[in-house]
Amino acid sequence: NAGVTQTPKFQVLKTGQSMTLQCAQDMNHEYMSWYRQDPGMGLRLIHYSVGAGITDQGEVPNGYNVSRSTTEDFPLRLLSAAPSQTSVYFCASSYRGGTTDTQYFGPGTRLTVL
Amino acid sequence: DAKTTQPNSMESNEEEPVHLPCNHSTISGTDYIHWYRQLPSQGPEYVIHGLTSNVNNRMASLAIAEDRKSSTLILHRATLRDAAVYYCILLFFGSSNTGKLIFGQGTTLQVKP
């Protein structure tokens, strides 16, 4: 099991550019989510999905899009990058997102927007 | 979402026990108490969770107060590898918040050799 994988590990963008952060899991988990972590802060939820074809907004969704066409993949799209989106992005998955389900996190993507 | 309060930082000596406190005075009867930790430059990892009874696993123990308004994560013998930020999180059973981990700032644990 590779667990939760994220690509790329590092990315530098210019303001206004778009890009997609990739997230994949091989544990057949229904629930997947994206968080961002700013320096010295806890993680904040961006978007989440309870299964293929179903997504919903988290705490800080503005400027990001997601889709879930397969159980394994949950990409995060930045439509027009802004310096305020400079952060470390973590993807997570769990069996069904239940309150006793363990959430597994990926290693993160460190994004800098100039 | 019910809130948790944790000290910003704590220090421990290697091979000594560590007690990390968490206050959650507004906890409801069906809120689960979860602990995650984040090692430097890594994603968070699950540590332990509980509802009412004390819980043990290979990583740690969770002691929950009888009134559930506070809990303590216990690392029995701290190692240098346990230096991390520890997050205490409440998850409400059965609400639309299912699966949403709401992270606070956590407690930064420093372990001295």
Tell whether the model's pLDDT for residue B94 goes beyond 60: no
Kindly identify which residue of chain B lies nearest to residue A31, measuring between CA atoms.
B99
Kindly identify which residue of chain A lies nearest to residue B97, measuring between CA atoms.
A99
Residue-level pLDDT at B99: 66
Query: Chain B interface, mutation test: which of A21, A68, A103, most B Cβ atoms within 10 Å?
Result: A103
Tell whether the model's pLDDT for residue A41 goes beyond 90: no
Contact A103 B102 (CB under 8 A): no
Q: Which residue has the higher pLDDT, A2 or B61?
A: B61
Please report where in the chains the tokens 């927007």 appear, as a residue. Answer: A113
Tell whether the model's pLDDT for residue B1 goes beyond 70: no
Instruction: State whether residue B46 sits within 8 Å of chain A by CB.
Output: yes
Residue-level pLDDT at A52: 94
A99 neighbourhood in chain B, CB within 8 Å: 32, 91-94, 98-99
B74-90: average pLDDT: 96
How far, in Å, CA of A108 to CA of A4, rounded?
10
A44-61: average pLDDT: 92
Query: For B106, which of A42, A99, A105 is closest by C-beta distance?
Result: A42
Query: Chain A interface, mutation test: which of B102, B105, B107, B108, most A Cβ atoms within 10 Å?
Result: B102
Please report where in the chains the tokens 């990409």 appear, as a residue. Answer: A75
Residue-level pLDDT at B29: 84
Contact A94 B87 (CB under 8 A): no
Residue-level pLDDT at A98: 84
- Contact at 8 Å (CB) between B47 and B35? yes
Q: Which residue has the higher pLDDT, B30 or A46?
A: A46
The 3-class SS string of A50-78 reads EECCEEEECCCCCCEEECCCCCCECCEEE
Contact B106 A104 (CB under 8 A): no
The distance of A15 to chain B (nearest Cα, Å) reads 25
A74-90: average pLDDT: 97
How far, in Å, CA of A104 to CA of A62, rounded?
24
Residue among B23, B38, B94 nearest A105 (CA): B38
